[in-house]
């Protein structure tokens, strides 16, 4: 299903590019700006099995993107500036904002040097457990377990099932199947399943954060860079919509308090973990507002329109997806045609 969706998106992007339709559509679709969503920025890795590759782009692609935006005369702004422009209804110039989820160390080591070349600001959304070294991005643990196994055993619907993971294609199919299933589970069942899988296949899940995510100590120095805004991304990276209201609220307030204490400055912006319709809806948008965040971003695809000012805690983003690192799609992404097509040409999606 995911592969099918990727194929459809890619075909759509290419059709838009090749037809030139994005240029014709631009005046009605482009909106006033875009908030780009990134995760990892790092050099391309070898290996046929990279199921999380959509979550990473290369420093070169980031550079091409920034050069494209600068050439278009688009302002590259902070989240504070996005918020201010929305509040003041100041849409005289188009803007782009770069946001990075999860707090990976490669943001500092590979993205920041490129951003610096263009004097471009960014925001990094930190999961407090990841910074603490006690949480773990389970989708990476799943990748590591499948990568090293020729078959994995999981309990599906209460029955132990063995899934072949011998070839790269089989690994990808197993990853897609398990990822979708795990995402639908309650938090502690998900944790239990992935922990069991890690134990069975010799993956040290506790090492993943230490290896990939910035620690509190590193974040303090990183946050001092004037180009960097640190935002919150919950305590545990759980699906907030799966939690009771009290727990969801705690994820938003306590996670932020821990980050503020560590970096010594206020945290005013939030990214919802997963951030799609199944993980962030009207209840979460209201909780973020009550918690006092100035903005909160989702992973719903879309450009920013003047109407977005009424929904600052339900802002859409445009994913810079590692599967589409082709300079030809940049005009399509910044025209808003791709996300508009996805949204059935609705401008605001905050329900």
| Min CB(240)–Zn ion separation in Å | 12
| Min CB(233)–Zn ion separation in Å | 6
| Min CB(39)–Zn ion separation in Å | 7
**Does 102 help bind Zn ion (rule: CB under 5 A)?**
yes
The stretch near Zn ion (CB under 5 A) out of 41-49, 51-59, 100-108, 153-161 is: 100-108
Q: Is 144 or 163 the residue whose CB approaches Zn ion more closely?
A: 144
Q: Is 56 or 102 the residue whose CB approaches Zn ion more closely?
A: 102
| Min CB(298)–Zn ion separation in Å | 12
| Min CB(248)–Zn ion separation in Å | 15
- Phi, psi angle pair for 343, to nearest 5°: -90, 10
x/- letters, 53..92, toward Zn ion (CB under 5 A): ----------------------------------------
Q: Please return the burial class of 269, using the count of CB atoms within 10 Å of its CB with bins 0-12, 13-18 and 19+.
A: buried
**DSSP notation for 280-345:** --HHHHHHHHHTT-SEEEEEEE--B-GGGGG-TTSEEEEE--GGG--GGGHHHHHHTHHHHHHTTT
The stretch near Zn ion (CB under 5 A) out of 3-11, 68-76, 95-103, 167-175 is: 95-103
| Min CB(184)–Zn ion separation in Å | 17
Chain centroid to Cα 145, Å, comes to 22
What gap in Å lies between CA 74 and CA 31, rounded to an integer? 12
What gap in Å lies between CA 21 and CA 162, rounded to an integer? 47
The stretch near Zn ion (CB under 5 A) out of 40-48, 96-104, 240-248, 314-322 is: 96-104
What is the number of the residue whose Cβ is closest to Zn ion?
101
Angle, helices 216-223 vs 245-263, to 10°: value is 70
**β-strand pairing of 151-156 with 159-164:** antiparallel
Binding-site size, Zn ion (CB under 5 A): 2
Q: Is 102 or 336 the residue whose CB approaches Zn ion more closely?
A: 102
Angle, helices 138-148 vs 187-200, to 10°: value is 30
In the range 268-327, which residues lie near Zn ion by CB under 5 A? Answer: none
Q: Look up residue 337 and give its two tokens.
A: 């045609």
| Min CB(102)–Zn ion separation in Å | 4
Q: Is 61 or 138 the residue whose CB approaches Zn ion more closely?
A: 138
Contact by Cβ (8 Å): 229, 222: no
x/- letters, 128..167, toward Zn ion (CB under 5 A): ----------------------------------------
Q: Is 55 or 332 the residue whose CB approaches Zn ion more closely?
A: 55
As a whole number of Å, the CA-based R_g of the chain is: 20
Q: Is 32 or 270 the residue whose CB approaches Zn ion more closely?
A: 270
Q: Is 52 or 173 the residue whose CB approaches Zn ion more closely?
A: 52
Angle, helices 2-19 vs 21-29, to 10°: value is 100
| Min CB(297)–Zn ion separation in Å | 11
Task: Work out whether the CA dihedral 97, 101, 107, 108 comes out positive or negative.
Answer: positive
Q: Is 214 or 348 the residue whose CB approaches Zn ion more closely?
A: 214
| Min CB(192)–Zn ion separation in Å | 21
Q: Which residues contact 313 (CB under 8 A, 6 or more apart)?
A: 270, 285, 286, 288, 289, 293, 295, 296
Residues forming the site for Zn ion (CB under 5 A): 101-102
């Amino acid at each position: 299903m995911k592969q099918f969706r990727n194929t459809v998106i890619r075909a759509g992007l290419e059709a838009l590019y090749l037809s030139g339709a994005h240029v014709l559509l631009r005046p009605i679709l482009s909106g006033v700006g875009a908030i780009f969503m990134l995760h990892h920025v790092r050099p391309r890795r070898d290996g046929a099995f990279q199921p999380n590759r959509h979550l990473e782009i290369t420093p070169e692609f980031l550079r091409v993107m920034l050069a494209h935006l600068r050439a278009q005369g688009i302002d590259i702004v902070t989240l504070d500036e996005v918020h201010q422009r929305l509040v003041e209804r100041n849409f005289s110039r188009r803007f782009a904002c770069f946001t990075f989820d999860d707090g990976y160390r490669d943001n500092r080591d590979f993205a920041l040097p490129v951003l610096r070349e263009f004097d471009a600001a960014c925001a990094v959304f930190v999961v407090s457990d990841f910074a603490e070294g006690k949480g773990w991005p389970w989708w990476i643990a799943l990748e590591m377990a499948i990568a090293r196994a020729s078959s994995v055993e999981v309990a599906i619907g209460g029955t132990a099932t063995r899934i072949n993971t011998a070839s790269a294609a089989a690994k990808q199919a197993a990853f897609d199947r398990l990822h979708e299933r795990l995402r639908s589970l309650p938090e502690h069942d998900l944790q239990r399943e992935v922990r069991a899988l890690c134990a069975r296949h010799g993956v040290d899940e506790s090492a993943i954060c230490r290896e990939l995510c910035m620690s509190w100590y590193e974040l303090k120095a990183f946050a001092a860079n004037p180009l960097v805004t640190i935002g919150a991304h919950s305590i545990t990276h759980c699906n907030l919509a799966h939690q009771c209201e009290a727990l969801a609220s705690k994820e938003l307030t306590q996670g932020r308090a821990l980050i503020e204490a560590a970096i010594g400055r206020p945290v005013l912006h939030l990214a919802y973990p997963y951030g799609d319709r199944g993980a962030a809806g009207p209840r979460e948008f209201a909780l973020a507002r009550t918690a006092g965040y100035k903005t909160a971003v989702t992973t719903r695809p879309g450009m920013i329109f003047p109407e977005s000012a009424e929904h600052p805690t339900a802002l859409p983003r445009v994913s810079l997806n590692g599967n589409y690192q082709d300079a030809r799609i940049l005009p399509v992404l910044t025209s808003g045609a791709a996300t508009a097509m996805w949204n059935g040409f609705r401008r605001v999606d905050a329900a």
